């Protein structure tokens, strides 16, 4: 078997609920893209003890299951805390993926370039395609006394991390900032990471969106995506994203709907159900977009539904 990258996940979900199901789908997809990957799953102790008994075989897909102490009462805080500790816990270079990601094309080529850390700038409604600093972070930065503005604001859901002194220094600053923030009632990890990157000398590579395609923000980001990243909301299981479909199919059958995933990836269109002309156009499916738009227009003129 070809040796692949070291990839790590963090999971805090002892009940084996939605996040555990997402982790299973993400790891299973990773195994198809990088069969030889070394996969580490880092959990709090209750989750680590529960993983072997999950209704889907997550334990059999990972090479290492690690239980690490995390004393915070809320699962989200425990998850963020463990994420800040990964550079301390793991030896060697690694990629980190959130559980709401789907690796759909090989991405290990990222390690061919020199860097201490490599990330994609965050995409949000302020800058869905071209990244800009999200102004909603300004009050948080002011409350923490952190330098404003930041030159770059990175998404923390996908990270490529070297085992270098500079990467470890950034991680140490990230941990310190996260603890500082958490002590003041704020467990958000992403701003603390970007501030650590901003103030700690390190070679930080800004990657193209394909390495962390935040498709919930804008459909154009799905084109050529290597790692699809679907922002998790309470409506995920009921939405029309590919991830939502895969979760529903897993819940209903216990299996992964690989044919649907493959069709969506081939089209650069990570949605299921009725096509939207807007999404089709921005993902490069322009002939389909025109047909869909014309059909919708005709249906509306005739008093029907598109």
> pLDDT tens-digit profile of 121-154?
998 777 677 888 888 899 999 999 998 789 899 9
Residue carrying the six token digits 């216990």:
254
User: What is the value of pTM for the model shown?
Assistant: 0.92
**Which residues constitute the domain of residue 303?**
274-306
**What are 206-236's pLDDT values in tens digits?**
999 999 999 988 898 999 999 999 875 544 4
Do 270 and 241 touch, CB atoms closer than 8 A?
A: yes
Contacts of 253 (CB under 8 A, 6+ apart): none
User: What percentage of the chain carries pLDDT values higher than 90?
Assistant: 76
CB atoms within 10 A of CB 87: 23
Q: Please check whether residue 62 lies inside any domain of the structure.
A: yes
Nearest 10 degrees: Cα torsion 228, 233, 234, 237: -10
The domain tally of the chain equals: 2
Helices (H), ranges, 184-223: 190-199
Within 13 Å, how many C-alpha atoms sit on residue 34's CB side?
22
Q: Please check whether residue 257 lies inside any domain of the structure.
A: no
* Whether residue 281 is found in the same domain as residue 200: no
Within 13 Å, how many C-alpha atoms sit on residue 97's CB side?
35
Q: Please check whether residue 81 lies inside any domain of the structure.
A: yes
* CATH number for the domain harbouring residue 180: 3.90.550.10
Asked which of 195, 212, 229 is the last residue of a domain, the reply is: 212
Closest CA to 255 of 264, 244, 246: 246
Asked which of 167, 191, 212 is the last residue of a domain, the reply is: 212
Q: Is 67 exposed, middle or buried (0-12, 13-18, 19+ CB in 10 A)?
A: middle
Residue carrying the six token digits 């793991």:
90
Q: What is the pLDDT of residue 287?
A: 78
Asked which of 212, 234, 254 is the last residue of a domain, the reply is: 212
**What are 11-36's pLDDT values in tens digits?**
999 999 999 999 999 999 999 999 99
Q: Please check whether residue 217 lies inside any domain of the structure.
A: no
Q: Positive or negative CA dihedral for 198, 203, 208, 210?
A: negative
């Amino acid at each position: 078997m070809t040796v692949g990258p070291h990839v790590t996940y963090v999971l805090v979900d002892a009940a084996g609920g939605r996040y555990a199901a997402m982790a299973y789908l993400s790891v299973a997809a990773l195994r198809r893209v990088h069969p030889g990957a070394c996969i580490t799953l880092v959990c709090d102790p209750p989750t680590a003890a529960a993983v072997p008994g999950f209704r889907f075989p997550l334990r059999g897909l990972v090479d290492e299951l690690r239980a690490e102490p995390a004393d915070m009462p809320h699962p989200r805080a425990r998850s963020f805390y463990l994420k800040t500790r990964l550079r301390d816990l793991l030896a060697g270079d690694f990629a980190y993926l959130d559980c709401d990601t789907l690796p759909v094309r090989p991405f290990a080529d990222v390690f061919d370039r020199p860097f201490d850390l490599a990330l994609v700038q965050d995409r949000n409604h302020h800058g869905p395609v071209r990244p800009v600093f999200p102004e909603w972070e300004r009050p948080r930065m002011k409350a923490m006394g952190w330098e404003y503005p930041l030159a770059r604001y990175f998404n923390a859901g996908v990270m490529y991390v070297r085992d270098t002194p500079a990467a470890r220094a950034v991680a140490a600053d990230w941990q310190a900032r996260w603890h500082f923030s958490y002590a003041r009632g704020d467990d958000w990890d992403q701003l603390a990471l970007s501030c650590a990157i901003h103030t700690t000398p390190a070679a930080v590579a800004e990657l193209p969106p394909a390495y962390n395609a935040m498709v919930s923000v804008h459909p154009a980001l799905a084109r050529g995506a290597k790692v699809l990243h679907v922002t998790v909301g309470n409506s995920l299981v009921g939405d029309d994203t590919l991830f939502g479909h895969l979760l529903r199919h897993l819940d209903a059958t216990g299996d992964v709907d690989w044919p649907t995933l493959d069709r969506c990836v081939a089209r650069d269109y990570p949605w299921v159900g009725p096509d939207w002309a807007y999404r089709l156009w921005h993902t490069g499916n322009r002939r389909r977009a025109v047909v869909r738009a014309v059909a919708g227009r005709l249906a509306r003129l005739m008093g029907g539904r598109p």
